[in-house]
A and B are shown apart, each in its own frame.
Chain A
Amino acid sequence: MSKVRVLVGTRKGAFILTSDGTRRDWEVSGPFFAGWEIYHVKGSPVDANRLWVSQSTGWHGQVIERSDDGGATWTPVGNKFVYDGAPGTHQWYDGTPHPWEFKRVWHLEPSLTDADTVYAGVEDAALFKSTDAGATWEELSGLRGHGAGRDTFAPHWQPGAGGMCLHTIILDPRDAGRIYIAISAAGAFRTDDGGANWKPINKGLVSGFMPNPTAEVGHCVHHVAMHKSRPEVLFMQKHWDIMRTDDAGESWQEVSGNLPTDFGFVIDVHAHEPETLYVVPIKSDSEHFPPEGKLRVYRSKTGGNEWEPLTKGLPQKDCYVNVLRDAMAVDQLEECGVYFGTTGGQVYASADAGENWTPIVRDLPAVLSVEVQTI
């Protein structure tokens, strides 16, 4: 029987939750790296025993560690993230130039084909790549260098409330040269040549807080998800609006439909049903907790627009947690499992595609990220 390993990053360490295919009984191990902020933990699709973790503190900056035995032991690897050339400036919140400064790694995306290759999305926004199992990192600087002289150029980018982070990296399983990334609050970008050249892919996004709501960059994209069988179809949770593209980002359409609020952070796709989506609506602009104190996952089986609340096992009163952008994942078992973590320290699991939910753990530090391995 298959095994499920849930990798959880929290404000104060990492945890690994394991179960067999029934997903009824869970073993909780950790905290690993106690006291460090763990923005992301992710396993290689090539070698399930190879895990990557991004850990940081305000005192000591960024560290990356790697496990080659499924998280039993860890080894620090390279942490030298140096921008290619003069880093330059981006716009600060008030529009003034601000020096581009490395702060942390938000997201680690292991290669689909090579266990020694991994991508890192960082704050201030840039994409780095290691091809030597994390020993050294090189910026794919074409992202920040594209569009020189135009208003899509990196010096015009501005941070979102959480900082100017590159938080989403999606590798196309059919085309090794195609990578999608997303930055708060610059928007989504795509390369078709492995990272040398990039283009913004934000046509159709509308952001009312911007001077030009349909500008080519400046949108606060919270997360993007893809089903591996249809890499040209993407789903996006924007600051407001659920969006969909069917042409690799060339154009987007809103599919928020009947959601109680179209603000939120997470979005994910069912493992076997590419038109089945999951989001967790969150009240905003500043509250960032579930509407009416009811924690509800919303599911669409129609690729958006028509959404149903999933509430069985989730608190339906007095719940005021948030679910952050990298804190939802699905497993690959025949009956798709869905998982998400909250800022209240709960990790909820559904072994039946969202119909019923159970907390695996209730009292972890605030959860920053959740990833799942089906082994």
Chain B
Amino acid sequence: MTGKDAPVNEQGVSGPVIRVVLPYHLRMLARVDGEVSLEVEAPVTVRRVLDALEARYPMLRGTIREYGTEQRRAFLRFFACEEDWSLEPMDAGLPAAVAKGKEPLLIIGAIAGG
């Protein structure tokens, strides 16, 4: 990892900037508009992205993955590069385009409710 793909985060760890798109309710809860940018140490996995997200925005704890089990909440999905990552292991490496910040990791609420 070199150049603009390898910034130094607050802990002095070199890592890429990851883009995350939150669903509406969570943008409201975190008081953010648009995408969230996070520094995540490689290898970039869903677990590491969520760890960084919850560290930056503590109010999101428990709203994406369950307390205790850390399992994805049932009505949420993860998408990366137009692929469904919801059922992939949390420690699986995300696609290079997401890891390099070229594509966002999408956190999407299931089409349910009214």
A76 vs B109: C-alpha distance in the bound complex, in angstroms? Answer: 21
Of the listed stretches A60-68, A181-189, A282-290, A298-306, chain B binds A60-68
Is there a chain A Cβ closer than 8 Å to B89's Cβ?
no
Binary per-residue interface labels of chain B (29-72) against chain A in the complex, 1 for a CB within 8 Å, 0 otherwise: 10000000000000000000000000000110111101110000
Contact B59 A82 (CB under 8 A): no
Q: How far is the CB of B72 from chain A (nearest CB, A)?
A: 11
Q: Which secondary structure dominates where chain B touches chain A?
A: loop
Contact B29 A76 (CB under 8 A): yes
Contact A33 B62 (CB under 8 A): no
Q: How far is the CB of B91 from chain A (nearest CB, A)?
A: 23
Cβ-neighbour of B28 out of A33, A58, A80 (below 8 A)? A33
A63 vs B66: C-alpha distance in the bound complex, in angstroms? Answer: 13
Q: How far is the CB of B38 from chain A (nearest CB, A)?
A: 19
Contact B25 A61 (CB under 8 A): no
Contact A58 B113 (CB under 8 A): yes
Contact A59 B29 (CB under 8 A): no
Q: How many residues of A contact B (CB 8 A)?
A: 15
Give the residues in chain B near A79, CB-CB below 8 Å: 61-63
**B residues 1-42 in Cβ contact with A at 8 Å:** 23-26, 28-29
Is there a chain A Cβ closer than 8 Å to B87's Cβ?
no
Give the residues in chain B near A59, CB-CB below 8 Å: 23, 25, 73, 75-76, 109-110, 112-113
Contact B109 A80 (CB under 8 A): no
Assuming the contacts A35-B25, A59-B73, A59-B110, asked whether A80 and B61 have C-beta atoms less than 8 A apart, the reply is yes
Assuming the contacts A36-B25, A76-B29, asked whether A60 and B61 have C-beta atoms less than 8 A apart, the reply is no
Q: How far is the CB of A11 from chain B (nearest CB, A)?
A: 9
Contact A80 B62 (CB under 8 A): yes
Cβ-neighbour of B29 out of A63, A80, A82 (below 8 A)? A63
Contact A58 B112 (CB under 8 A): yes
The A/B interface has a contact count, at CB < 8 Å, of: 47
A36 vs B62: C-alpha distance in the bound complex, in angstroms? Answer: 15
Cβ-neighbour of B64 out of A35, A60, A80 (below 8 A)? A60
Q: How many residues of B contact A (CB 8 A)?
A: 22
Q: How far is the CB of B71 from chain A (nearest CB, A)?
A: 12
Binary per-residue interface labels of chain A (42-59) against chain B in the complex, 1 for a CB within 8 Å, 0 otherwise: 000000000000000111
A76 vs B64: C-alpha distance in the bound complex, in angstroms? Answer: 15
Nearest residue (CB) in B for A34 is B28
Contact B67 A80 (CB under 8 A): yes
Assuming the contacts A76-B59, A80-B67, asked whether A60 and B24 have C-beta atoms less than 8 A apart, the reply is no
Q: How far is the CB of B56 from chain A (nearest CB, A)?
A: 13
Q: How far is the CB of A36 from chain B (nearest CB, A)?
A: 7
Nearest residue (CB) in B for A77 is B59
Give the residues in chain B near A33, CB-CB below 8 Å: 28
A79 vs B113: C-alpha distance in the bound complex, in angstroms? Answer: 22
Contact A35 B24 (CB under 8 A): yes
Contact A82 B112 (CB under 8 A): no
Assuming the contacts A35-B25, A80-B67, asked whether A62 and B62 have C-beta atoms less than 8 A apart, the reply is yes
Assuming the contacts A33-B28, A35-B28, A80-B67, asked whether A61 and B23 have C-beta atoms less than 8 A apart, the reply is no
Q: Which residues of B are in contact with A by a Cβ distance under 8 Å? A: 23-26, 28-29, 58-59, 61-64, 66-68, 73, 75-76, 109-110, 112-113
Q: A59-B76, A60-B25, A80-B61 are in contact. List 7 more A-B contacts (CB 8 A).
A: A33-B28, A35-B28, A57-B25, A59-B25, A59-B109, A60-B63, A76-B59
Interface CB pairs A-B, < 8 A, 12: A33-B28, A34-B28, A35-B24, A58-B75, A59-B75, A59-B76, A59-B113, A61-B62, A61-B66, A61-B73, A79-B63, A80-B62
